[in-house]
Amino acid sequence: MKRICFLLKVKSDRLEEYKERHKAVWPDMLAALSQAGWSNYSLFLREDGLLIGYVETPDFDRALSQMAATEVNARWQTEMADFFEGVPGRKADEQMVPLEEVFHLD
């Protein structure tokens, strides 16, 4: 199992709505994430919009591509696209670049 951490940036004027949306993630989205190998998935949001994502998965590229192939992910990404700063025309899940892990206490 690999530990993956990535950063995204939520627009400052959308922070509260972003948090509200994640209080009720669609059940079919949650199921798709699990089926695609996403486990122990967490999002952390700083008040300036910095979003830190953490997930454990055997193969992050495979987990991303499996999600990209689902209809529910296409709907979710379309609804959430306006929340993020970043590369215009690229969905948030296309901008998830893993950070290098330099230490883990285990």
Which residue is listed with tokens 């122990």? 40
Where residue 63 sits, what CATH number does that domain have? 3.30.70.100
pTM of the model: 0.90
Return the higher-pLDDT residue of 94 and 73: 73
Q: State the total domains in the chain.
A: 1
Q: Is residue 45 part of a domain?
A: yes
Annotated catalytic, 104? no
pLDDT at 89 over 80: no
106 found inside a domain: no
Q: Residue 106's pLDDT is what?
A: 85
Domain of residue 25 covers 2-94
Residue 80 lies in a domain: yes
pLDDT in tens, 2-46: 999 999 999 999 999 999 999 999 999 999 999 999 999 999 999
Contact predicate 37/58, CB 8 Å: yes
Establish if 67 belongs to a structural domain.
yes
The answer on pLDDT for 73 being more than 90 is yes
Q: Which of 1, 2, 19, 22 is flagged as catalytic?
A: 22
Contacts of 56 (CB under 8 A, 6+ apart): 1, 2, 3, 4, 39, 40, 41
Structural domain contains residue 84? yes
